[in-house]
Structure 1
């Protein structure tokens, strides 16, 4: 969580989610300060996307959600539909994983941005069209005025992602939640999208939550990282400190699985096994069955998340020793991607 809780833009406290009685999130505590960039990382199925879908009331009716999600003084957990609709897009906008499925294939691209402008800012007619073209220019769509009337299938995958970002910006949100925004894009386009998010954050002052399994990409955008596993945050800290010395064995395992693009070739060290089924979670630490450092206590007692508030937090009975010298190695893939700009 951020250092000064009283100044946070969003505060999530003890957030739990269950589907058909099966818990999938277990007491998530997460804060985002105004203008801050926070990364949420972990394997597929760890609960990264579910956390923010729950926060915005976008989960299906079968999901049971408890806890608190506050946007300033406004409580979003269990809020009336109108309250949530007033927040979505205008205060908190979300970019979903697959732009090709999120965009309507039978409505022209520019018109979809215009619809967002009408809903969130009341713009219509020529004013809405002009603002939509401006947003398309802002996110780097070439020849935006002419391409306003094209359909989504006439744009590349990277350009569709830019269209989604333009739609998200239409409501001038205070927080942008980017859910795997570089998935299925090649390295050059990924670098462009990461650059775009960093530039937009600098120009608009909005906060960003970057959800990804790509630690290299997160390192290019975020100041703080939260590592999730089996519906819990297991490690949290500033990017520099966490990359230099990951303390949780799971975080260390994620780093060990990153291929390096410099130096001699080395065999990757995968994390054995898979994320456990939420219906059959181990009694103690959920990562214990896959952990090479596991001790007897790990299988009996779940470690709480603890540490220096706003600096480093960790949930582990036997953490990796705090050794330095890993920053350059861990950041190498991200640096290589960042250098692959056209």
Structure 2
């Protein structure tokens, strides 16, 4: 039996005829923590919204998304209700847009328990209180009947995690869960995700542009650019020897808090408009390593000898890289 919990194969998404995902191949193992990184607009969130059938009607989705052999793509929306929240749960970066402001928080959590686990009455209340305690909500019994606005931003994010855990999912998708929080609360939420994964054994997909956070939470990372995966490997591989110029550019743009004060090295330009992609490598216009081939031919995502996957004709030489992972862990 495959050790993969979720397998995504040749996933493509178009909005009003404009393609934004170009054949994503991705697998998440049971209990694994996978990071998905890249600039805004690279397709990170769209990948998982498509997998769960949560994109608007104007989106066209093709390919295969399977959870332990069960096909999700093309499955009727009602049939997906047992998967969403029950098998796969998702938390967003903005809890204020996901928590209903006019419904008490206890009711919102017990609704999830009723829908996904069939719990009702005092049994549901007791389980909701247990989950609130698990995610670190102080004095949960008293605060069970409060409204979302009576909690801080960090506590609202914890409540979103509690609602996601209510269905005892096999996979938790955390979509930029710390973006709107200050540094201290960010660290607490990251520690909570690590702790919950250790306690429950659930797999985690951590979507972020914050490489420092990814290095703390994840074991493996996929780098996305313009609707494609351009590099994929273990944290140790990508953080010590990034080979794709885009991956290296992401590291170079990270501010350092230790050592001499140096100018950041930004990646020139912006993520291209999906309407204007050429036949070549989408990163070529921004790439210092680009050659003539890159302008008219697109590199395939190939398996390298060290086990990583890379889509690049002119990767960064090993001799040109630096041990960025250790610098990040010490200085960011």
Corresponding residue for residue 127 of structure 2: 131
Out of 167, 173, 180, the residue aligned to residue 169 of structure 2 is: 173
Corresponding residue for residue 55 of structure 2: 59
Contact 2:256–2:331 (CA<8 Å) still a contact in 1? no
Structure 1: segments with no counterpart, 5+ residues: 338-342
Q: Kindly indicate whether residue 253 of structure 2 is the aligned counterpart of residue 257 of structure 1.
A: yes
Residue-by-residue CA offset, 1:81-123 (whole Å, 9 max, x unaligned): 2321110000000001210111000011111101100100111
Distance 1:89 1:186 in 2: 27
Post-superposition shift, 1:332? 3.9
Corresponding residue for residue 18 of structure 1: 14
State the TM-score, normalizing by the size of structure 1.
Answer: 0.94
Distance 1:40 1:172 in 2: 23
Contact 1:247–1:319 (CA<8 Å) still a contact in 2? yes
Corresponding residue for residue 272 of structure 1: 268
Corresponding residue for residue 340 of structure 1: none
Corresponding residue for residue 117 of structure 1: 113
Corresponding residue for residue 83 of structure 2: 87
Distance 1:47 1:309 in 2: 27
Q: Larger deviation: 305-314 or 242-251?
A: 305-314
Corresponding residue for residue 29 of structure 1: 25
Q: Larger deviation: 121-130 or 308-317?
A: 308-317
Superposition RMSD on alpha carbons, in Å?
1.5
Post-superposition shift, 1:336? 5.4
Contact 2:93–2:180 (CA<8 Å) still a contact in 1? no
Q: Kindly indicate whether residue 41 of structure 2 is the aligned counterpart of residue 45 of structure 1.
A: yes
Distance 1:198 1:283 in 2: 41
Distance 1:139 1:310 in 2: 38
Q: Kindly indicate whether residue 175 of structure 2 is the aligned counterpart of residue 182 of structure 1.
A: no
Per the alignment, do residues 336 and 293 of structure 1 end up closer, same or farther by CA in structure 2, a change over 3 Å counting?
closer
Superposed structure 1 runs of 4+ greater than 2 Å apart: 308-311, 323-327, 329-337
Distance 2:327 2:8 in 1: 33
State the TM-score, normalizing by the size of structure 2.
Answer: 0.97
Residue-by-residue CA offset, 1:160-209 (whole Å, 9 max, x unaligned): 00000000000000000000000111111111000000000000000000
Corresponding residue for residue 214 of structure 1: 210
Structure 2: segments with no counterpart, 5+ residues: none
Pairing 1:186-265 to 2, within 5 Å after superposition: 186-265=182-261
